[in-house]
């Protein structure tokens, strides 16, 4: 089993940050008005599998998606973001339906945008990773779980799966998410030397 302390990908704050996901107690509040941007290849995979995803969605979100699609024209990081209905991501219905449908097929992450999987790890435009926390990298989201005083649990112990995922992303093992190699994260020297 991969241990968080074995992961060499440099992630600012991983030794000092505190984080403890309490879903479903929180109601999945990180899916409220989060509007993650979606890579074009991720978008295509969701489109291709939409017929089996739609039945799991709320009635209102399903109607919105059937009428206008699941992305908005609003762009983040140069990519179109997921739409919201009543303030929640269209794919939220007592949890993430992309996660649910993937899990039913044996891979909880196969349809989820990588930014949702990595949360609360975030990649800045220069390619460096950090743990999202209030007061770090200009964090603007007031989510309670990003408050380092909210939990005594260290991110290194609670984010093992997320840390492993972002390492794979940077290593190119999640290359399907990007249409062209140019879109992929650029391995940094520390990664290339391994
Ligand atoms: S895609 Fe899923 S995890 Fe991401 S914001 Fe929407 S409901 Fe949440």
Q: State the pTM of this model.
A: 0.90
Instruction: Verify that 150 and 94 share a domain, yes or no.
Output: no
Could you tell me which of 118, 133, 155 has the C-alpha nearest to residue 37? 118
For residue 86, tell me if it sits in a domain: yes
**87 φ, ψ to 5°?**
85, -5
User: Last residue of a domain, which of 70, 95, 112?
Assistant: 112
User: Last residue of a domain, which of 112, 133, 152?
Assistant: 112
State whether residue 30 is helix, strand or coil: helix
User: Last residue of a domain, which of 59, 78, 112?
Assistant: 112
For residue 184, tell me if it sits in a domain: no
Of 56, 92, 101, 114, best ligand 1 pocket probe by most atoms within 8 Å of the beta carbon: 92
For residue 194, tell me if it sits in a domain: no
- pLDDT tens string for the chain (194 positions)? 455 445 456 888 778 899 999 999 999 999 998 899 999 999 999 999 999 999 999 999 999 999 999 999 999 999 999 999 999 999 999 999 999 999 999 999 999 999 999 999 999 888 889 999 999 989 999 999 999 999 999 998 999 999 999 999 998 999 999 988 778 876 654 544 43
For residue 72, tell me if it sits in a domain: yes
What's the confidence (pLDDT) of residue 187?
Answer: 61
Residue 92 CA to ligand 1 centre (angstroms) = 6
Residue ranges making up the domain that contains 74: 27-112
Instruction: Verify that 160 and 108 share a domain, yes or no.
Output: no
* Torsion 51-53-56-61 (CA) sign: negative
Of 89, 93, 115, best ligand 1 pocket probe by most atoms within 8 Å of the beta carbon: 89
For residue 74, tell me if it sits in a domain: yes
């Amino acid at each position: 089993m991969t241990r968080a302390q074995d992961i060499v990908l440099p992630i600012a704050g991983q030794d000092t940050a505190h984080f403890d996901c309490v879903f479903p107690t929180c109601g999945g509040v990180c899916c409220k008005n989060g509007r993650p941007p979606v890579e074009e290849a991720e978008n295509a995979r969701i489109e291709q599998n939409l017929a089996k995803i739609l039945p799991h969605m709320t009635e209102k979100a399903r109607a919105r998606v059937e009428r206008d699609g699941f992305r908005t024209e609003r762009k983040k990081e140069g990519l179109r973001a997921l739409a919201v209905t009543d303030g929640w991501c269209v794919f939220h219905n007592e949890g993430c339906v992309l996660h649910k449908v993937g899990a039913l097929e044996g891979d909880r992450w196969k349809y989820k945008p990588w930014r949702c999987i990595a949360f609360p790890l975030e990649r800045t435009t220069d390619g460096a990773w950090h743990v999202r926390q209030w007061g770090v990298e200009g964090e603007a989201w007031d989510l309670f779980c990003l408050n380092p005083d909210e939990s005594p649990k260290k991110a290194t112990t609670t984010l093992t799966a997320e840390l492993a995922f972002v390492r794979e992303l940077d290593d190119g093992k999640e290359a399907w998410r990007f249409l062209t190699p140019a879109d992929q994260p650029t391995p940094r020297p520390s990664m290339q030397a391994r």
